[in-house]
Structures are given as C-alpha cells and as structure tokens.
A = this chain, B = another copy of it.
Amino acid sequence: MTGNKYMKRALELARQAFDNDEVPIGAVVVDNTTGEIISEAYNLSQHSLCATAHAEMLAINEACQKLAANRLRGMDLYVTLEPCTMCAGAISFSRIENLYFGAYDEKGGAVENGVKFYEASTCHHKPNIFGGIMEKECSEILKKFFKKKRT
C-alpha cells in the first residue's frame, strides 16, 4: 500500500517525540494530488507547555499557514493514533479529505471510540476514514513510552 510511506514518516516523527520525552504520536499532512508532504509534527504538549499541542493540531495549523488557507481541501492527514475529540473537530473544520490513522485509542479516541464525532449531527464535514494502518508499530511505541513513564 503506497500510503504506508506517509504513515512510516508519521511513525518516524513519533520516534523523535519518544526520544524527546514527549508522547510518541506523529502526524503528516499530504497533498493527495502531488503527494507532497505539506507539514509534519509530533506531539509537543509537554515541552511547549501548551495543552492543545497535539501532533494533528500542529500539523494542521502549519499546513493552513503554509497554504494561506483555512480549508485544506485535497489534503490528507496521516497520524499514528486515532484522533481525540479536539483533533477530530479540527480535522473536520479544516476539511481534510482522507484521514489515515494507526493505533486505535479506546481511552481517548473520538473516531471509532468515544463520541464518534464523525457520526454526529453536529459534524459538518466527515473525512474518509482509514484506521488501523501499521497499527502494531504505532501502538507499540506508545506502550513502550507509558511503560517507561511508570518505572
């Protein structure tokens, strides 16, 4: 599956987060016509001291800035973990076309778990959703991180 190259990049970003003692989640915004990576980020909520600095938010905000647009039509988002409620909302607002995510998140996810935002009547743009891509690798790095945190 060609798309995996972007999830691999998101996973590399998650590894960088891990090495920087951040929650290892990576995200990449890709132009689905040209294949160009427009923006990429990893979770920075610890180091940036910003509660909202999730990988998806940072990547979306950077893509909006780079493209000088508040709608990211024709753009796809790859993220290593199922987006939370906040990020699911941001993905919808920014009109991301296709959402590819890695691990499922029973505790905090909002796509297949929790509020399942994209099925709600208050969701006005639903991306196409592809979950469980490279799930094992995306999940393992998170497990490793939280195991390290507990010891």
Chain A residues within 8 Å of B, Cβ to Cβ: 45-46, 48-53, 57, 60-61, 64-65, 68-72, 84-90, 92-95, 107-110, 113-117, 120-124
19 A/B residue pairs, CB under 8 Å, sorted by A: A48-B70, A49-B68, A49-B69, A51-B64, A51-B71, A51-B72, A51-B95, A52-B64, A85-B85, A85-B92, A85-B110, A85-B122, A86-B87, A86-B88, A86-B90, A89-B110, A107-B124, A114-B122, A115-B122
Copies of this chain = 2
Bound CA–CA A47/B28 (angstroms) = 24
A53-B52 Cα distance, complex, nearest whole Å:
12
Interface core residue of A49, A87, A89, A117 (most chain B CB under 10 Å) = A89
- In the bound complex, residues from chain B placing their C-beta under 8 Å from that of A90 are 51-52, 86
- In whole angstroms, what is the CA distance A92 to B52 when docked? 10
| Consensus secondary structure, chain A interface | loop
A49 to B64, CA, bound (A): 6
Cα separation A123 to B107 with both chains bound (whole Å)? 9
Kindly identify which residue among B64, B95, B113, B122 contacts A107, using a CB–CB cutoff of 8 Å. Answer: B122
Residues of chain B within 8 A of A71, CB atoms compared: 51
Query: Which chain B residues border A50 with CB–CB below 8 Å?
Result: 61, 64-65, 70
Docked Cα-Cα span, A108 to B117, in Å, equals 11
Q: Which residue of B lies closest to A95 (CB)?
A: B51
**Interchain nearest-CB distance for A116 vs B (Å):** 8
